[in-house]
Structure 1
Amino acid sequence: MNKSSHWSAMGEWSVIWGMRFLLRVYLLFGRTVLQCFLYPVVSYYWLANKPGRAASRAYLKRVAALSPASGLHGNLRDSYRHFISFANAIIDKLAAWSGALSLSDVDYHGRDSLLAQIRTGKGAILLGSHLGNLEVCRVLADMDEAVRINVLVHTKHAEKFNDLLKQTNRNSGLNLIQVTEVSAATSMMLSDKIDNGELVVITADRTPVSPNPRVSRAKFLGADALFPQGPFILASLLKCPVYALFCLKQNGKQVIYFERFSDLLTFPRKNREQALQQTVQRYAERLEHYCLMEPLQWFNFFDFWQVNEQ
């Protein structure tokens, strides 16, 4: 894949100083005033970011073709709504960080199954995505001292983000872990966390940052796209249950969906690639299902379907 086209080459504006400033505005003045800051910024970003705008429209056109009932067409208006949805997701992210979200603001589907798994003393892998707002899971971490959530992130600012989280809630059970690739040492560390009954969240809808990423092709929204093999290989190494995790904003509330994806992932050596591809395809189908539920909440503003020979 052309390095310049990779998602990691895009400048993300949610750097630590920016998030610190936005969090301060949110805490001092609330959501309405913060929107006065965010909307002009996102509007400018939408106008200036031609590749992101084109990627947004291409994605929304795929949604429109598969789901006419969505009312989307993939035009400029839809793309702008997509970016504004991103702005609102940032505000929801800040609300989750600040502790402004309570359990009454969140609905759950499948939570009892996950909590029962934690009570066995063995943790689980949660396959997250860039659909909706993973930060809302902080509410789950705060509701029970027994729940510890570790989120694997690619950002180099993981330690600073952790400091920011601790400033808003010192007792938070959410921990960010920076990784570019999962080494043997990383696997051992995560294995210890799983054995301690903790949860490990890893996004499964972006290819790795490494030069030669391990990926599988999967049909997603009507065309082939590349998905990372790493989250699924990691889950097989950790020998633990796997859940698909989606957090959507619906009817003014955050709704978290936990789906039992597998009791134990195994990839036999003789048909390893085939088994991996089938597993990745199954995940892509679940991601598509939830994307079609809330299409404006999938935030990958790059050409997701740019499939090159590996």
Structure 2
Amino acid sequence: MSAESGPSTEWTRQRERSNLLALTLMRWIAMALGRRVARGVLHPITLYFLLTGGAASRASRQYLTQVLGRPPRWAERYRHVHHFAATILDRVYLLQRRYEAFEITVTNPHLLLDQVRAGRGAMLAGAHIGSFEVLRSLGEDMKDLRVAMLMFEDNARQINATLRAIAPDTPLHVIALGRMSAMLELRAWLDSNGVAGLLADRTLRAPGTTAMQRGGVHRLNFLGQPASFSDGPFRLAMMLRRPLLFMAGLYHGAHRYELRFLEIADFSQRPTDGATSEVVLQRAVQRYVEILEGICHETPHNWFNFFDFWADDDADTSPQT
């Protein structure tokens, strides 16, 4: 199986189509009913998903078994799916900058704000945890905060169309990977003090991407079993010589969110121990995985990768460590 047409590519396309359908439905519910009533609608949606979700429902159960160390109870499975549905609904209001509807706390905001205030821009590696859109709430305190998402071109076009339908007046910027100009565009965005984020908890094999953009795949222990993690996002930060931060918008139920920042690696500095670039890269990937694993243990219902995350579908095409 070629690296350009593997199951990860098909999963990515399938998931983005599903996200678009879910987001379109949630937009209608959110705008027609209001948040209080719309949240009530989430319960039958959650129940329907659990009863008919098929592979995604099984994947949720598998993940919860890994993170809890035992088979999940029905209530725990329900809470996992409900958290996902709630964040999709809230994404509509967050994109419309209706932050007054939420209680948002920020942990370690200085890690990001110090870089932005110094005019250096910032690179963020997130995960399919909670809501990335919570990051935009910082713009209320920093009016010049500009946020871009990095994603592959086909997904970018689809996501952009839906998000602009939800929030036509909200500045949305997507840097599409898979093009030769993507690196130059990203560098220019950071040099102009922009913030760029991407989700690093999935290996990607998109058509048209170069080996450098995809990076290598590392098999690392995650929640008790080896799982595949791409070093592409970390290699990108290393090539641009930028500090890389972990960011997650954790959902804590009702209207409560926590925006959390943690250090991954500072690729703008030379290692003090003389480590090679590949060793520095491996350390950064390992650090990311450790952060992600810790958050999953801390708040297990926030991670929304609804597929077999531990499947070794890249083993024949990518280097492993």
Pick aligned residue for 2:310 from 278, 287, 305: 305
Structure 2: which 5+ runs fail to align?
Answer: 317-321
Pick aligned residue for 1:247 from 246, 249, 268: 249
Structure 1: which 5+ runs fail to align?
Answer: 66-71
2:150 matched residue in structure 1: 152
2:99 matched residue in structure 1: 101
Match status 1:204 vs 2:206? no
Matched residues in 2 for 1:301 and 1:204: separation? 15
Match status 1:216 vs 2:221? no
Residues 78-110 of structure 1: per-residue CA shift (max 9 Å, x gap): 223211121111122122122222397211111
* Comparing 53-62 and 257-266, the one that deviates more: 257-266
Match status 1:292 vs 2:303? no
Kindly provide the amino acid, as one letter, of the partner of residue 248 in structure 2: F
1:235 matched residue in structure 2: 237
Match status 1:263 vs 2:259? no
Matched residues in 2 for 1:257 and 1:227: separation? 21
Kindly provide the amino acid, as one letter, of the partner of residue 35 in structure 2: R
Residues 1-58 of structure 1: per-residue CA shift (max 9 Å, x gap): 8934663153543316x53453243234212322344333332222222211221111
Q: Where does 1:1-310 land on structure 2 (aligned, <5 Å)?
A: 3-4=6-7, 7-11=11-15, 12-15=17-20, 19-65=23-69, 73-102=71-100, 105-154=103-152, 155=155, 156-164=157-165, 166-167=167-168, 170=169, 172-179=170-177, 181=178, 183-210=179-206, 213=214, 214-250=216-252, 252=254, 253-264=256-267, 273-308=278-313, 309-310=315-316
Is this contact kept in 2: 1:132–1:248, CA < 8 A?
Answer: yes
Matched residues in 2 for 1:265 and 1:305: separation? 32
> TM-score under structure 1 normalisation?
0.85
Kindly provide the amino acid, as one letter, of the partner of residue 283 in structure 1: Y
* Comparing 193-202 and 97-106, the one that deviates more: 97-106
Matched residues in 1 for 2:29 and 2:73: separation? 33
Residues 208-230 of structure 1: per-residue CA shift (max 9 Å, x gap): 13267532122111111111111
Matched residues in 2 for 1:7 and 1:247: separation? 24
1:68 matched residue in structure 2: none
Q: Displacement, 1:61?
A: 1.2
Q: Displacement, 1:250?
A: 2.7
Q: Displacement, 1:267?
A: 9.9
2:319 matched residue in structure 1: none
Is this contact kept in 1: 2:66–2:224, CA < 8 A?
Answer: yes
Over the matched positions of the two proteins, sequence identity in percent amounts to 29
* Comparing 18-27 and 289-298, the one that deviates more: 18-27
Kindly provide the amino acid, as one letter, of the partner of residue 215 in structure 1: V
Q: Displacement, 1:174?
A: 4.1
Matched residues in 1 for 2:26 and 2:58: separation? 27
Matched residues in 1 for 2:91 and 2:126: separation? 15
The alignment yields a C-alpha RMSD, in angstroms, of: 2.8
SS in 2 for 1:107: strand
Kindly provide the amino acid, as one letter, of the partner of residue 259 in structure 2: I
Matched residues in 2 for 1:94 and 1:39: separation? 18
Kindly provide the amino acid, as one letter, of the partner of residue 188 in structure 1: L
SS in 2 for 1:131: coil
> TM-score under structure 2 normalisation?
0.82
Residues 221-268 of structure 1: per-residue CA shift (max 9 Å, x gap): 111111111110111122111111011123642111111222226899
In structure 2, relative to structure 1, the CA distance for the partners of 1:191 and 1:14 (3 Å cut) is: same
SS in 2 for 1:10: helix
Matched residues in 2 for 1:185 and 1:267: separation? 27
SS in 1 for 2:110: helix
Pick 1 or 2: higher relative contact order, CA cutoff 8 A, min separation 6. 2
